[in-house]
Amino acid sequence: MRSFAAMANNYSNSAVRNIGVGLVGFGTVGTGVWETIEKNGSLMTERSQGKFALNVVKAAVRDISKKRIENAPSDLFTSDWNEVVNCQEVEIVVELIGGTTTAFDIVVAALKLGKPVVTGNKALLAERGKELFALSREYKTPIHFEAAVAGGIPVIKAVQDSYIGNEIESMFGIINGTSNYILERMTTGGLAYPEALQEAQELGYAEADPTLDVNGWDAAHKAILLASLAYGFSIDPKEVYVRGIERVRSIDIEFAKGLGYVVKLLSVVKRHENGNIELRTQPSFISKSHILSSVNGVFNAVAIRGDASGDALFYGRGAGKEPTASSVVADLAEACYALEKSGAHRGFLPYSDEGQVMNIDETETPYYVRFDVTDRPGVIAEIANVLANDGIGIAGTHSPNDPENPDKDFVDMVFRLHTCPFGKLKATLKKTMKLDCVNSEPVVFRIENLTA
């Protein structure tokens, strides 16, 4: 690595500004940020034409006695985040601890001190962003959050900058690597859900507590951020429909294959003609002919359609030490430029006081519905009669073998249904649950048309 002194000599017209960075959190991503700055800091200075050099001067950790990176000085660490935020040498604060309580306090404290914040905390911004971005405007201090969505993929900057002249018509995202890996292993490896989850945990793709990944909320928080950026208004997570992959079974995977689909945890952000925004996350059938169907493993992808730009795909690693650290460091560079221009604010800038998330009951797609039924004559007719009485069209029915439970006394009955409002479907399915032959709540997958 070239020395800072030798590098600085290349810029005789102006001195390189040495900018102090404070890290709150020094786990996987925090150490990745440290290593990236150590490795490529001089390159960043050169690319900035000598305007700045990053220097991590303080880091807050949970356990001060834990062994850290060998070349990190011992006096770098503290167990008190206040020491990081209030350190005079720290000009930019990086929040990497997660959660929505202490992390909120950290961001608030930094903003009030006029210190730009970099964070990858999608839950914090999705659930408490309205308060934080109001403070950001009040103190004219930006919040940067590229790492909050899709790891190393620069989709936030694309939506903020590249699409500034576009009305964004839709965004379809596979934005949780853990769920995507599990579904891929169920599809290509023939694993049942518990086995695929266990494998993901053993490989480090899933946490010991994978709840937020598999229940859909990790992806939903990211979708909320993308929608807020695209349409300019704050979104209450309570208005967002979210379902996870916990009830996906091998029978669903195999049935999808037979129809020419794959099952993915899909986030949908779509603007309708009346201005309302459709915003939902759930397991969905995606045609094998669509490019998103080939996004496998822990990779993420976001397909964006602008009225001027047309279709584009952003694809890459959605998590992990190096990709996420790359996005954090990119935001650090952005924050450095903001420091150069007093009052500059290139973080989230809400531009609309009005906006409406579409009621999930009004959204429409075709559906795949799996019923757990008692194996006896007349079952299909009983369920079909309820659907027909409510005006829901049936595209096909099937009673496939369940590879996970080949000898069970009850069977799965699958119905493919024509497009109808989701609220109408829910009301009808409640009626089917009153039938003696239906043993549990039906499982619903949307069959997506990603060209609309």
Q: Looking at the predicted structure, is the pLDDT value of residue 23 above 90?
A: yes
51 is catalytic: no
Out of 307, 340, 373, pick the residue that ends a domain. Answer: 340
The answer to the question of residue 33 being in a domain is yes
Alpha carbon distance 288, 362 (integer Å): 27
Tracing tokens 């559906």 back to the chain, one arrives at 367
pLDDT in the model for residue 13: 46
Q: Looking at the predicted structure, is the pLDDT value of residue 353 above 80?
A: no
% of the chain with per-residue pLDDT over 70: 92
- Residues 138 and 174 grouped into a single domain: no
Helix (H) or strand (E) holding 168: strand 168-174
What confidence category does residue 280 fall into, taking pLDDT thresholds of 50, 70 and 90? very high
Tokens matching residue 172: 């379809």
The answer to the question of residue 220 being in a domain is yes
Structural domain for 51, as ranges: 4-151+322-340
- Residues 145 and 54 grouped into a single domain: yes
- Residues 137 and 185 grouped into a single domain: no
CB of 336 closer than 8 Å to CB of 48:
yes
Q: Looking at the predicted structure, is the pLDDT value of residue 76 above 70?
A: yes
pLDDT in the model for residue 68: 72
Averaged pLDDT, 356-376: 95
Tokens matching residue 222: 């990211």
Averaged pLDDT, 417-438: 97
What confidence category does residue 410 fall into, taking pLDDT thresholds of 50, 70 and 90? low
Averaged pLDDT, 416-430: 97
pLDDT in the model for residue 349: 58
- Residues 89 and 117 grouped into a single domain: yes
Mean pLDDT of the chain: 90
Distances (CA, A) of 209 to 100, 204, 220: 17, 12, 18
- Residues 143 and 167 grouped into a single domain: no
pLDDT in the model for residue 1: 42
- Residues 302 and 335 grouped into a single domain: no
CB of 183 closer than 8 Å to CB of 263:
yes
pLDDT in the model for residue 342: 60
Q: Looking at the predicted structure, is the pLDDT value of residue 48 above 70?
A: yes
- Residues 236 and 311 grouped into a single domain: yes
pLDDT in the model for residue 123: 94
- Residues 191 and 278 grouped into a single domain: yes
The answer to the question of residue 346 being in a domain is no
pLDDT in the model for residue 67: 72
Alpha carbon distance 87, 100 (integer Å): 23
Out of 259, 283, 317, pick the residue that ends a domain. Answer: 317
Q: Which of 122, 222, 264, 270 is catalytic?
A: 222
Rounded to the nearest 5°, which phi and psi values hold at 206? Answer: -125, 145
pLDDT in the model for residue 320: 82
C-alpha torsion 188→194→198→204, nearest 10: 70
What confidence category does residue 318 fall into, taking pLDDT thresholds of 50, 70 and 90? confident
Q: Looking at the predicted structure, is the pLDDT value of residue 8 above 70?
A: no
Among 34, 205, 218, 207, which Cα is nearest to 124's? 218
What confidence category does residue 2 fall into, taking pLDDT thresholds of 50, 70 and 90? very low
Residues 96-120: tens digit of each pLDDT: 999 999 999 999 999 999 999 999 9
What confidence category does residue 300 fall into, taking pLDDT thresholds of 50, 70 and 90? very high
Averaged pLDDT, 285-302: 95
The answer to the question of residue 416 being in a domain is yes
The answer to the question of residue 89 being in a domain is yes
Q: Which residues does residue 95 pair with via DSSP β-bridges, in sequence order?
A: 24, 119
The answer to the question of residue 142 being in a domain is yes
CATH at residue 241:
3.30.360.10
- Residues 170 and 47 grouped into a single domain: no
Q: Looking at the predicted structure, is the pLDDT value of residue 406 above 90?
A: no
The number of domains in the chain is: 3
The answer to the question of residue 10 being in a domain is yes
Averaged pLDDT, 399-416: 70
pLDDT in the model for residue 6: 47
- Residues 282 and 186 grouped into a single domain: yes
Strands, E, within 288-388: which ranges? 299-306, 310-317, 364-374
Compare 11 and 153 and report the one with higher pLDDT.
Answer: 153
Q: Which of 163-167, 267-271, 338-342 has the lowest mean pLDDT?
A: 338-342
CATH at residue 124:
3.40.50.720
Compare 68 and 82 and report the one with higher pLDDT.
Answer: 82
What's the pTM? 0.90
Tracing tokens 């009850």 back to the chain, one arrives at 410
* DSSP code for 15: P
pLDDT in the model for residue 375: 84
Q: Looking at the predicted structure, is the pLDDT value of residue 12 above 50?
A: no
What confidence category does residue 312 fall into, taking pLDDT thresholds of 50, 70 and 90? very high
Q: Which residues contact 337 (CB under 8 A, 6 or more apart)?
A: 48, 51, 344, 346
The answer to the question of residue 351 being in a domain is no
Q: Looking at the predicted structure, is the pLDDT value of residue 147 above 60?
A: yes
Tokens matching residue 353: 């006081």
- Residues 254 and 192 grouped into a single domain: yes
Rounded to the nearest 5°, which phi and psi values hold at 286? Answer: -120, 130
pLDDT in the model for residue 228: 92
Helix 250-259 and helix 177-188, axial crossing angle in degrees, nearest 10: 70
pLDDT in the model for residue 201: 92
Q: Within a 13 Å sphere around the CA of 175, how many CA atoms are in the beta-carbon half?
A: 35
- Residues 305 and 178 grouped into a single domain: yes
Cα R_g (the chain), whole angstroms? 25
pLDDT in the model for residue 285: 98
Amino acid code (one letter) for 64: I
Strands, E, within 307-421: which ranges? 310-317, 364-374, 394-398, 410-421
pLDDT in the model for residue 286: 97
